[in-house]
């Protein structure tokens, strides 16, 4: 099982890393790239804590082989803030609504919420709840999380 | 079960290849046979490998094979095996013409799994609970299987042989799923019961009716999570075909379906619950499909 070089873009930066075929993308992001915002929750695709964007689509980094990231564009929670550290409107909405309790699900929730807003500006509450159905909050603070996505959608629409 | 397993890393070691053409995939698959596994979305295979229930020496990625992706209409519909569940769910053609498949893909697990998982992967994994299987069974789907030697078309009803088992031979690859054009007066529907919406089905059902006025001229009923394989219920279909549609007939067919299934009790539901719920969702799916069939056009 030989190491191989894999090249991808991580939060806008070109990266080249050496991985084994059984290395998971999640562990490369957390352990090699030291970006620990993306969480390891269940490891079997049920909790959504490890959600990142690959080529703009929300996927589970715990079920993605690192070798498969060749040529892909990966964005993690650390990559959402703009130049100079300005937070994404969805991150602002989480702060405004106090939508963070223990915080473990927050990166996955924000990556899913961002993916939804990119697909469906101004989603309804039902659309938000449906889209977030695979991201679990064991503090059960869903109401303020859902409200944050709705608020960010409304704010972005008003800014357009 | 999960506590005994380390899902943080992938323990088994394997070689990884990502061919750029289907012929390369077929050559590798033929050379390595049962020691190789194909990876599509990876949402089933990698979990099995983390649990150390599967330990292939070679993992062959299908991600580089563009011809396995996409939905093409013509005489019916051809869906590439690597088309994601999310893309099937989002297809306007599928929503208009094959409502049962649209609903099965919409009800599928979580958005992340829909984005990663593929139609071919869901079928080849051959879970008795696979959401797309009952829908495709009632739509008379066929699957196109290919090796370096040539291809064959298999009716989906002949594809599953047991939990996790199919007629796929070593080195054989699923290329696409084909659906016949729905005739006039067709209506279909899919319903699923699960503990929470993102969960695997406790029981799911798909139906398709062809309607001529008040008469049912053709009918399909299939269920998932109720037997070792997704199951067509021929006796319930026969009870409807040629007769008039309506709640009484649908309740009779639903009772037959509930009798014919062979559910087990497991962590998700008891056999008795599955039997009861199967009857309810078959009745409701028949009612919905009947209404859709009356609205004209193929659905």
Task: Give the model confidence (pLDDT) of A55-83 as tens digits.
Answer: 999 999 999 999 999 999 999 999 999 88
- Kindly determine whether residue B112 and residue A42, on different chains, have CB atoms separated by under 8 Å: no
Q: Which residues sit opposite B296 in a β-bridge?
A: none
Please name the CATH architecture into which domain A84-159 falls.
Orthogonal Bundle (1.10)
In this prediction, residues A41-52 reach a mean pLDDT of 96
Residue B234: predicted pLDDT: 97
In this prediction, residues B128-139 reach a mean pLDDT of 97
In this prediction, residues A11-18 reach a mean pLDDT of 97
Q: How far, CA to CA in Å, does A48 sit from each of A41, A137, B129, B144? A: 8, 9, 21, 33
Q: Is residue B287 over pLDDT 60?
A: yes
pLDDT band for position B299 (cuts 50, 70, 90): low
Q: Residue B109 is nearest to which of A22, A42, A134, comparing CB atoms?
A: A134
Fold (CATH) for B70-179: 3.30.465
The answer to whether B48 contacts chain A (CB < 8 Å) is no
Tokens 């992967």 correspond to B121
Q: Is residue B219 over pLDDT 50?
A: yes
Q: Is residue B191 over pLDDT 70?
A: yes
Helix (H) or strand (E) segment spanning residue B223: strand B215-224
* Residue ranges of domains in chain A: 4-79, 84-159
Please give the angle made by the CA atoms of B241, B243 and B246, to the nearest 5 degrees. 105
In this prediction, residues B250-257 reach a mean pLDDT of 98
In chain B, which among 143-202 make CB contacts under 8 A with chain A?
196-198
ipTM of the complex: 0.97
Nearest-Cα distance to chain B for A84, in Å, is: 30
pLDDT band for position B4 (cuts 50, 70, 90): low
Fold (CATH) for B186-294: Enolase-like; domain 1 (3.30.390)
Nearest in space to A49 (alpha carbons), one of A118, A112, A92:
A112
Give the whole-angstrom CA distance, residue A24 versus residue B75: 42
Q: Which residues sit opposite B219 in a β-bridge?
A: B209
- Kindly determine whether residue A44 and residue B50, on different chains, have CB atoms separated by under 8 Å: yes
Q: Residue A68 is nearest to which of B9, B63, B115, comparing CB atoms?
A: B63
**Strand pairing class (A51-54; A73-75):** antiparallel
In this prediction, residues B54-75 reach a mean pLDDT of 96
Q: Tell me the percentage of chain A whose pLDDT exceeds 70.
A: 99
Q: Tell me the percentage of chain B whose pLDDT exceeds 90.
A: 91
Q: Tell me the percentage of chain A whose pLDDT exceeds 90.
A: 94
The answer to whether A113 and A152 have CB atoms below 8 angstroms apart is yes
- Kindly determine whether residue A23 and residue B7, on different chains, have CB atoms separated by under 8 Å: no
The answer to whether B55 contacts chain A (CB < 8 Å) is no
In chain B, which among 89-128 make CB contacts under 8 A with chain A?
109-113, 115-116
Please give the angle made by the CA atoms of B236, B100 and B202, to the nearest 5 degrees. 70
pLDDT band for position B298 (cuts 50, 70, 90): low
Fold (CATH) for A4-79: Ubiquitin-like (UB roll) (3.10.20)
Give the whole-angstrom CA distance, residue B108 versus residue A113: 19
Residue A2: predicted pLDDT: 78
pLDDT band for position B195 (cuts 50, 70, 90): confident
Tokens 């070792």 correspond to B228
* Residue ranges of domains in chain B: 15-60, 70-179, 186-294
Nearest in space to B235 (alpha carbons), one of B224, B246, B248, B219:
B219
In degrees and rounded to multiples of 5, residue A38 shows phi and psi of -75, 125
Tokens 């030291």 correspond to A34
Q: In what order do the strands lie in the sheet with B36-39?
A: B15-17, B58-61, B36-39
Please name the CATH architecture into which domain B15-60 falls.
2-Layer Sandwich (3.30)
């Amino acid at each position: 099982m030989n190491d191989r070089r894999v090249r991808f873009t991580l939060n806008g930066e070109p990266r080249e890393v050496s991985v084994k075929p059984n290395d998971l993308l999640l562990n490369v992001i957390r352990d090699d790239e030291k970006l620990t915002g993306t969480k390891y929750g269940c490891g079997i695709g049920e909790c959504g804590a490890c959600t990142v964007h690959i080529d703009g689509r929300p996927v589970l980094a715990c079920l993605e082989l690192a070798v498969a990231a060749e040529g892909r564009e990966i964005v993690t929670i650390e990559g959402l803030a703009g130049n100079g550290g300005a937070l994404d409107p969805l991150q602002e909405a989480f702060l405004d609504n106090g939508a963070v309790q223990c915080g473990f699900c927050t990166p996955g929730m924000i990556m899913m919420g961002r993916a939804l807003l990119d697909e469906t500006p101004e989603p309804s509450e039902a659309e938000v709840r449906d889209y977030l159905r695979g991201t679990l909050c064991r503090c059960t603070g869903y109401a303020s999380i859902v409200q944050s996505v709705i608020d960010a959608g409304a704010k972005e629409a008003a800014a357009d | 079960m999960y506590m005994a397993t380390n899902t943080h890393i992938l323990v088994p070691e394997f070689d990884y290849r990502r061919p750029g053409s289907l012929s390369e995939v077929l050559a590798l698959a033929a050379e390595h046979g049962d020691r190789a596994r194909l990876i599509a979305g990876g949402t089933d295979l990698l979990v099995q490998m983390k649990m150390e229930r599967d330990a292939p020496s070679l993992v062959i990625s299908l991600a580089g094979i563009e011809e396995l992706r996409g939905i093409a209409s013509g005489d019916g519909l051809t869906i590439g095996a690597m088309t994601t569940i999310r893309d099937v769910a989002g297809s306007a053609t599928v929503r208009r013409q094959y409502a049962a498949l649209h609903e099965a893909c919409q009800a599928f697990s979580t958005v992340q799994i829909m984005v990663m998982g593929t139609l071919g992967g869901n079928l080849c994994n051959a879970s008795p609970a696979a959401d797309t299987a009952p829908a495709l069974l009632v739509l008379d789907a066929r699957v196109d299987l290919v090796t370096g030697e040539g291809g064959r078309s298999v009716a989906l009803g002949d594809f599953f042989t047991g939990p996790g088992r199919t007629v796929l031979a070593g080195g054989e690859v699923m290329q696409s799923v084909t659906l016949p054009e729905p005739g006039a007066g067709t209506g279909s529907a899919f319903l699923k019961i699960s503990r929470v919406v993102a969960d695997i089905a406790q029981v799911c059902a798909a139906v398709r009716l062809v309607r001529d006025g008040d008469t049912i001229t053709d009918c399909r009923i299939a269920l998932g999570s109720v037997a070792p394989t997704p199951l067509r219920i021929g006796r319930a279909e026969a009870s409807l075909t040629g007769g008039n549609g309506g709640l009484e007939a649908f309740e009779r067919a639903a009772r037959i379906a509930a009798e014919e299934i062979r559910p087990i009790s497991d962590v998700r539901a008891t056999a008795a619950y599955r039997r009861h719920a199967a009857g309810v969702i078959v009745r409701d799916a028949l009612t919905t499909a009947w209404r859709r069939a009356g609205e004209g056009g193929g659905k």
